[in-house]
Each structure stands twice: as C-alpha cells, then as structure tokens.
Structure 1
C-alpha cells in the first residue's frame, strides 16, 4: 500500500529511534517497524469506513424526517442520491473491508462526533449541493463525486488530522498520504467487480516487504561501518554539529545503494535528499547530496558497488 518513499521514511524513523532510544534489540525494533506499517494500513481502512458512516448518518436523518409527527414536504420527499451512491454501496458490501472489520473490530463508534462533523461538512459543501441537484445518474458520476469529495472536502478537514494524531503516534506524519491512497482506491472502483473490488494491501508485493526488512537490518547491523564511511568523507564538517537525522539518512542510503542492485543510484540519492528536505534542516539536502556523492564514487572505485545493467547511472 505504501509507496517506496513512505517505506523509506518508516525505516528512517525506526532506525533513528533504535539508536536514540537505546536498549532495544534489532528484532524488537524491527517488529515495531512492521507494526507502524500495519497502523498505516489500519488508517486506510478507517478512512474508508468514515464515508460509510457518513452515508449511514445521512440515511438516519432521512428516516427521522419521515417519522416526524409533522413532516415537511422535504421530509416526505427526501433526495436519496447520496445514500444511493453506487460506489458507496459497493464499498459497503466489499469483502475485504468487511473481513478487515471482523478481524480488527475497527469502528468509528468512539468518535461519533467526528462523523457528525464530517457529515455537516459534506452536506454544506458546494460539491455536495451540485451533485444532489444534478440530473446525471451513472456509476461514473457517483465515482467521480465520491473521490473528489474525499480529496477536496473530507481530506481538507484539519480537525480530522488532529484526531489521528491523538489516536496514534504512528499517524502523525502520514495521514495526508493515506488520504491520497483512499482517493486513488475510489477512483479505481469498477462496477463490474462488485463486492470483490480489490482494496490496497499492506504491501504491494513480497518485494516491498523484503525491501523494508533488508534496508532496516543492513542500516542497523552495519551502523559502525557506514558511520566510518561518513566520517571519512566529512572532513570539512563537524559531525557533532550535524543533525543526527542526516547521519541516519545517509546510513540508510548507503545500505540501499549496496544492497539493491536493481535500484539506480540516482533514484536512491534523489529519494533521501527529498526526505531530508522534508524531515530535517533546510541545508540537509545539500549536505547529504555532497557526502553521498563522494561515498558512492569511493565505493565504485573499490568495486564494492554493483548495479545491474540499466541501473548503474548517476
């Protein structure tokens, strides 16, 4: 489910906490790494369930209106377009989602106020009003609406991110990314697949899972060797004053260029430079690029860096 970049970020956070926390074994920290990835998958399902709960609340409001002692014309003639949205109903019957709920007990029951807040946000949005007033009736219209609603309305509701931060330390940095994965999922819905519509798996494939495991283990086990390399090519820098996160990122980058012959060197460099820009200091990207460039040239000269044909470039 997670992109390679976010998997790299997960490894970075875990390696950092492993050495800064102290006392934890490699096996225990590795278990925490995979737990954090599992929590991202949980958030993905929680967001999918959110739209179902909003839909159910909308249906309940319609039923309450019909049961009033003195119902208005609007109460007696409700617009059911939203609660009958084909994509939402298809999601409601999705086998993978139902199975995940049964296995984990995942629900919004303890945060019903947030469901009410999102419902209010949705029905008051211009996008919702236009959808409800439109005469268009098709699966494609429903799919386009629900994916844009999640992206432009629900996904922009900042209090929701505050809730996620309160609920889990693992949801602090990636909620926005997981929202984008939910949007991607909804855009890929196919009416013909019905309840068997595929949802995102925890890992895209076995290769991604192995990538995480190997990257983490090599960065930790070869910690001293990688730090010695960094010191060797950082003679003009006082490493005591360098952000420790930058050192961790370089260690992981070295592990990646050495252990994954299929990944081009330039791809690895660009990834860790971008991660440094986002998670470390403003100067980190430039610093990391300069040091890693020297280390990679050294590894090539020593014939320690092996890349498969088509991957050995800079």
Structure 2
C-alpha cells in the first residue's frame, strides 16, 4: 500500500501542473491526481504479471530437467519448492488477481522477451553459483528470500523494463518505487487460501489525504504566497523554483489544516522531497 510520502509526491506533481497552467480548473486537476494515484496500482499489477511469467519459466525449466538423460534431483526439488510457495501458487489460482489483470488489460504481449532475457541471465548465474543444485531442502521462508533477491537483482533495476514502462506512462518512472514496494509486500504477506492483492491505501484517511491536501493547498495558495513574501527578506518569491512553491504550500497547509499530522512530519517531508526533486 502507498505511504503518505508517495501520496505527497502525487500532490506535488498535481500542484505543479495546476500552477503551471496545465489546467485552470481545480476539479480537472483533482481528477488527474486521482487517476495518477490509481495508475500506481496498474503498475503494481504489471509487476505481479511479471512474476506470473516467471512461474511459467520455472515450469518450463522443470520439464526440461525431467526430460534430461541424467536429471538432477536436487535442482528439480528446488524448482518445485519455488513453484509451490504461497505467492507463486496464488498467482495462478487467485481469481481476484486474474480478474484484475483482465479488467485492466495487464499483458506483456510481444515484450515478454524483455522478461525472458532477464530470467535466463539470472537463472544461468544461479546455476553457475551452484545454488540450484544444493541438497538441503528449500524451506518456505528461504524460498521467499530467494524470490525477493531475484526480484531485486534481475527485475527491479532492469533498465529495459523501465523503458517499457515509460513507453506506457511517462509518470511511471516516479511511481516505480511505490509499485515495487507493494510487490514486495505481496510476496512477504502471501498466505495460502487468502487473497493475494494488497490494497492501494492503508485506510480511508490515507485515501482522502491526497485530494484534501491538493484542494486546500490550491484554495489557500494566495494566502501562503503573501505569507512567504512577508517572511522572505533575503530573496524574492518569484525566484523560488516552482517545485519549491508547491512544497511550501503543501507544508503550510498540512501544518494548519491537518492537525493529526505531527508538525515535525509536515516540515521534514517537504524537505526530503525537495532533496529528491
């Protein structure tokens, strides 16, 4: 699920677009904000579909091993252990996951070659290291650790996959961290017989936070602009970068209108975002 920081990033982007005149209607900008946040879930579903492709790859590897003249029992046992872990089983049996893929048309199509290339590279490295042929039984917890390592080393930082995502949506470069975090949560929390998908928001408060912060920041922008001008004795307001103005508006709005958020958080979060952007 998304953190408040991810939501703040989306609000910052929406404010930037609104202040730059991409839309003069705050309701249209709010709709774009909500769609932008929802698109993170689409990216998350693509990440899960990637693991579904890896499940098929493992099934193919298992059949190849079985049909060898001298099959390696330890290797087959490891592949079977990976295929039987709760997360991988749910990928092929959870009707909610399948329905979400169908609803949002989540397919890799002719770009599945990007995945298979990454799969083969990682697989060959594991064979060379001897990990696949170890004799000890692969426990479920160790299988989860291995799958997370596969994800981190082979997929999460794969530039070819990132380029494909950016072809689908120019905003996904900023959204990838959030979607990948959700994917890791899904791997870790998978339980047999339970729904696999994680929620986009932790609760109703988080779900409402982004829209509320955006609208209140827009409404109070003239007041914050005058306040900043009155306090900024060493420089002119107009010399602030547009992103800095957005972050200042957000911080002031949070401190005044979101009493449940600690002041320290409302100050520190924009500072961290300023370092990033």
TM-score where L is the length of structure 2: 0.88
Q: How does 1:246-261 map to 2 (within 5 A)?
A: 246-261=244-259
Partner of 2:137: 136
The 1:74–1:183 alpha-carbon spacing in structure 2 relative to 1, beyond 3 Å, is: farther
Q: Deviations over 1:206-262 (max 9, x none)?
A: 101111111010111222111111111112112222211101110011111111111
How far, CA to CA, are the matches of 1:215 and 1:127 in structure 2?
51
Tell me, what secondary structure is at the counterpart of 1:262? coil
The 1:177–1:126 alpha-carbon spacing in structure 2 relative to 1, beyond 3 Å, is: farther
How far, CA to CA, are the matches of 1:22 and 1:179 in structure 2?
29
Tell me, what secondary structure is at the counterpart of 2:20? helix
How far, CA to CA, are the matches of 1:233 and 1:130 in structure 2?
64
Q: Per residue, is there more helix in 1 or in 2?
A: 2
Using CA pairs below 8 Å that are at least 6 residues apart, which structure has the higher relative contact order?
2
Q: Deviations over 1:160-216 (max 9, x none)?
A: 2222222211202121342233123212223xx32x234221222110111111101
Decide which moves more: 253-262 or 139-148: 139-148
1:73 maps to 2:69: yes
The 1:216–1:197 alpha-carbon spacing in structure 2 relative to 1, beyond 3 Å, is: same
CA radius of gyration, larger in: 1
Q: Is the 8 A contact 1:218 1:255 kept in 2?
A: yes
Partner of 1:278: 276
Q: Is the 8 A contact 1:55 1:82 kept in 2?
A: no
The 1:130–1:204 alpha-carbon spacing in structure 2 relative to 1, beyond 3 Å, is: farther
Q: How does 1:106-117 map to 2 (within 5 A)?
A: 106-117=106-117
Q: Deviations over 1:45-101 (max 9, x none)?
A: 1111101102213424555787xxxx7425798736336242312332223312211
The 1:171–1:94 alpha-carbon spacing in structure 2 relative to 1, beyond 3 Å, is: same
Q: Deviations over 1:2-52 (max 9, x none)?
A: 110010010000110111134441111111111111111111111111011
Partner of 1:101: 101
The 1:128–1:154 alpha-carbon spacing in structure 2 relative to 1, beyond 3 Å, is: farther
The 1:229–1:22 alpha-carbon spacing in structure 2 relative to 1, beyond 3 Å, is: same
Partner of 1:301: none
Q: Is the 8 A contact 2:12 2:246 kept in 1?
A: yes
The 1:91–1:131 alpha-carbon spacing in structure 2 relative to 1, beyond 3 Å, is: farther
Q: How does 1:1-314 map to 2 (within 5 A)?
A: 1-60=1-60, 63=63, 72-73=68-69, 79=76, 81-82=78-79, 84-86=83-85, 87-126=87-126, 130-134=130-134, 135-190=136-191, 193-194=192-193, 196-279=194-277
The 1:25–1:10 alpha-carbon spacing in structure 2 relative to 1, beyond 3 Å, is: same
How far, CA to CA, are the matches of 1:131 and 1:156 in structure 2?
22
Q: Is the 8 A contact 1:253 1:269 kept in 2?
A: yes
Ranges in structure 2 where 5+ consecutive residues have no aligned partner: none
Ranges in structure 1 where 5+ consecutive residues have no aligned partner: 280-314
Tell me, what secondary structure is at the counterpart of 2:165? helix
How far, CA to CA, are the matches of 2:144 and 2:72 in structure 1?
27
Cα RMSD after superposing both structures: 2.4
Number of residue equivalences: 272
How far, CA to CA, are the matches of 1:242 and 1:210 in structure 2?
29
